[in-house]
């Protein structure tokens, strides 16, 4: 049941992410981006539910079904693969950053709200060292009885979500999801036409250029 609770929590995060992103759809200058984002959210949510053979009903019904579903070892493996996807890291990371105040207060730290379209201010090794330092601090709080087991697990999971998202950004995995205005889309379309290729081909090409810059910045520091 503990694994089911984790899945139910992740389903809640996906729905929460969808709700937060939907609030931004009213901005007409980014309508194309949010249309693509909506497609990505719906696709990811459906693949998540397909693993356990569930169709989305109301939020409460779906949440309860996940809690009571039988999860085979094969399904656990499929979820493990799904969790390696950059979009999963984006959802969990962003949602955890939205609600990081209690974590910051507990550990007496300040976690930056790094956007996925920015070159990371730290490389992977620096981020790993920082996370290890926070784990040590969290373990000390738990061993001294200042926080209970539920708090410890909740804060530990939130740190994992945030830093997996940061690692993904350092690797350039979040580049395809960067926020583009309608004008940005039109410019990419124009460059695609000029290069005699499709929008998708041009988009992938430009994403790779950005990823290369991120790699050069982070691995040559």
Does residue 70 carry a pLDDT above 50?
Answer: yes
pLDDT tier at 185, thresholds 50, 70, 90: very high
CB neighbour list of residue 116: distance below 8 Å, 6 or more residues apart = 90, 165, 169, 174, 175, 177, 178
Closest C-alpha to 88, from 24, 32, 167: 167
Number of Cα atoms under 13 Å in the Cβ half of residue 114:
22
- The 8-class DSSP code of residue 16 comes to H
Q: What is the mean pLDDT of the chain?
A: 88
Are 118 and 189 in contact by the 8 Å Cβ rule? The answer is no
Contacts of 152 (CB under 8 A, 6+ apart): 138, 141, 142
**Domain boundary assignment for the chain:** 1-84, 101-221
Please write the tens of the pLDDT for every residue from 197-219.
999 999 999 999 988 888 777 66
> What pLDDT is stored for residue 58 in this prediction?
82
> Lowest-confidence range among 105-119, 120-134, 193-207?
105-119
């Amino acid at each position: 049941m503990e694994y089911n609770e984790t899945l139910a929590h992740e389903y809640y995060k996906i729905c929460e992410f969808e709700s937060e992103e939907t609030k931004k759809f009213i901005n007409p200058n980014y309508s194309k981006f949010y249309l693509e984002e909506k497609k990505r959210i719906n696709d990811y949510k459906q693949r998540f539910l397909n693993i356990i053979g569930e169709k989305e009903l109301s939020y409460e019904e779906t949440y309860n079904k996940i809690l009571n579903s039988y999860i085979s070892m094969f399904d656990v493996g499929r979820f493990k693969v799904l969790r390696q996807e950059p979009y999963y890291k984006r959802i969990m990371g962003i949602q955890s950053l939205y609600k990081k105040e209690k974590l910051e207060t507990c550990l007496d730290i300040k976690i930056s709200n790094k956007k996925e379209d920015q070159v990371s201010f730290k490389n992977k090794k620096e981020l790993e060292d920082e996370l290890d330092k926070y784990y040590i601090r969290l373990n000390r709080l738990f061993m001294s009885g200042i926080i209970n087991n539920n708090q410890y697990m909740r804060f530990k999971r939130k740190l994992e979500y945030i830093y997996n998202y940061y690692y993904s950004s350092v690797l350039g995995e979040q580049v395809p999801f960067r926020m583009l205005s309608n004008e940005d889309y039109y410019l990419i379309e124009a460059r695609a036409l000029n290069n005699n290729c499709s929008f998708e081909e041009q988009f992938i090409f430009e994403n790779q250029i950005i990823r290369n810059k991120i790699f050069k910045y982070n691995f040559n520091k």
